[in-house]
Structure 1
Amino acid sequence: MIESNRNIELENRIEEYLDGKLSPQEVDELWAELIDNEYYLDYMKSVASLKQIGEERQKKSEEVRKEPVQRVWLSAAAAVVLMIGSAILFSLSTETSEMIKPVSTIELDYYRSADGMATESVESDVVRRAISTANTGEVGAALSLLNHELERANSEIEQAELLITSGSILYNSGQFSEAIERFENAKNLNYDDVMLRERNYWYLGNAYFQVNQIAEAKDMLEKAFEMNGAYSRVAQSYLRALSSR
């Protein structure tokens, strides 16, 4: 299990923020920290999505519990009531599986600052330009920029970031099979950036989920979970929901 990339204190503050427990000053301090942290911005979006699902599930469960229960004396009628009750319980037990869906979009804003990097590389500039281009709707042009730079990349970590960025752009444009190919290529590269690798597993799991390849999605989400980083808890929630599929 890899724990060096995990910031437990920041994760707790994100959850407190989503629960409305932070003061205005604490909220400002949290956003100041997150604005340069692409990794935990993605994490916050995922946790927020799961909290919304949980709230919807609880609301529906409470509505079921408030239904008036009539006393039925005939054995046949009682059996029918028991069958209906069992159906409701089954529906509630599988509700999370039905409600959890792959992420609709992958965050494309490039938040990493120059202060967070040892050097300002040509590759990072290309990634920023490609993301900016994709955000204006010019997906083809953005992919061309990344493909051109990919042919020139000298290291596997540069190749990985270019592949993951292009895969994210393809994912957001609904080209999930093409995105899977990019993420798979990045997965097979040899590089030491734990956070980048974990993010790729998370994206790849969601891409497989989008095309209903559930076994493959589970495999990638399991890998994200096992890395014990920022996506560990949200990946575990997805795995639990998908276990019945």
Structure 2
Amino acid sequence: MIESNRNKDLEKRIEAYVDGNLSPSEIDELWAELLDNEYYYDYMKSVASLKKISEDRESESKLQRTESQKTVWLSAAAAILLMFGAATIFNISTEPSETVSPISSIELDYYRSADGNVADDVKSDVVRQAISTANTGDVAKALSLINEELQKDNSEYKEAELLITSGSILYNSGRFSEAISRFETALEIDYDDMMLRERNYWYLGNAYFQVNKLDEAKFALEQAFELNGAYSRVAQSYLRALSVR
């Protein structure tokens, strides 16, 4: 569990921002915090993605309700169609969405302080360099930098960070099987940062989802959910959706 590491106030403000319920000054304050916190910046994108899924689902539901009403008025068997339409609407509103998709890409960015400067104490130089290189499109060089660093004697945390970063680069390149291998290897390391571990499971679950290994995806997402961190809610939503597949 990582309950003690959660910033519940920040999570609430992120959700309020996504819902359009923050003032301009509150938005500025929120972004100042997010620029210095990649974990919650990534969380904000997940909340926004989840909201879009929910809105798309609601839009589809309204469209189907409208079509159902038209059918009721035009059909001679109005009573039967009304019953069918009500059952259909009930299913739409109560069943989990079946349209969720794995995340299209993993954000590769630096941690930044409130003044916009890169925070030197957050990522290793090699990780920052690899991310910068990958962002220019030179994936091979970025992976080479990380692979060279992995040959050295690193701390458990840095080893996991290097593997997760390289897995993210591979994921964004569409090399999902290779990304899975990196994420799985990172999980074999006994590092203490539960936020990093939670993200590791979240990325792994999405990578499995990309290659249609849904049982494995569910397992990884369950681990992310059970860690009860910032990804818990979005992981739960994905699990509900995957359960009806």
Q: Output the TM-score relative to the length of structure 2.
A: 0.89
Whole-angstrom CA distance in 1 between matches of 2:161 and 2:112:
13
User: Gaps spanning 5+ residues in structure 2: where?
Assistant: none
Q: Which residue of 2 is the match for residue 182 of structure 1?
A: 182
Q: Which residue of 2 is the match for residue 50 of structure 1?
A: 50
User: Gaps spanning 5+ residues in structure 1: where?
Assistant: none
Q: Which residue of 1 is the match for residue 160 of structure 2?
A: 160
The superposition leaves residues 40-84 of structure 1 with CA deviations (integer Å, 9 ceiling, x where unpaired) of 01100011011011111112212222332227555xx87677667
Whole-angstrom CA distance in 1 between matches of 2:207 and 2:153:
25
The superposition leaves residues 78-111 of structure 1 with CA deviations (integer Å, 9 ceiling, x where unpaired) of 76776677567656666712x2111101010011
Query: Pairwise mapping of residues 42-191 of structure 1 onto structure 2 (< 5 A)?
Result: 42-66=42-66, 67-68=69-70, 69-70=72-73, 72-73=75-76, 96-97=97-98, 99-111=99-111, 124-191=124-191
The alpha-carbon distance between structure 1 residues 87 and 25, as it changes in their structure 2 partners (threshold 3 A), is: closer
Question: Could you tell me how far 1:153 is from its partner in structure 2?
Answer: 3.4
- Count the aligned residue pairs: 239
Q: Is the 8 A contact 2:96 2:240 kept in 1?
A: no
Q: Is the 8 A contact 1:102 1:209 kept in 2?
A: yes
The superposition leaves residues 134-166 of structure 1 with CA deviations (integer Å, 9 ceiling, x where unpaired) of 001100000000000011132211110000000
Q: Percent identity?
A: 64
Q: Which residue of 2 is the match for residue 217 of structure 1?
A: 217
Q: Is the 8 A contact 2:111 2:119 kept in 1?
A: no
Q: Which shows bigger deviation, 151-160 or 162-171?
A: 151-160
Q: Which residue of 2 is the match for residue 39 of structure 1?
A: 39
Whole-angstrom CA distance in 1 between matches of 2:159 and 2:213:
26
Kindly provide the amino acid, as one letter, of the partner of residue 21 in structure 2. K
Q: Which residue of 2 is the match for residue 10 of structure 1?
A: 10
Q: Output the TM-score relative to the length of structure 1.
A: 0.89
Whole-angstrom CA distance in 1 between matches of 2:112 and 2:58:
37
Whole-angstrom CA distance in 2 between matches of 1:194 and 1:112:
21
Whole-angstrom CA distance in 2 between matches of 1:204 and 1:234:
14
**SS of the counterpart of 1:201?**
helix
Q: Which shows bigger deviation, 105-114 or 235-244?
A: 105-114
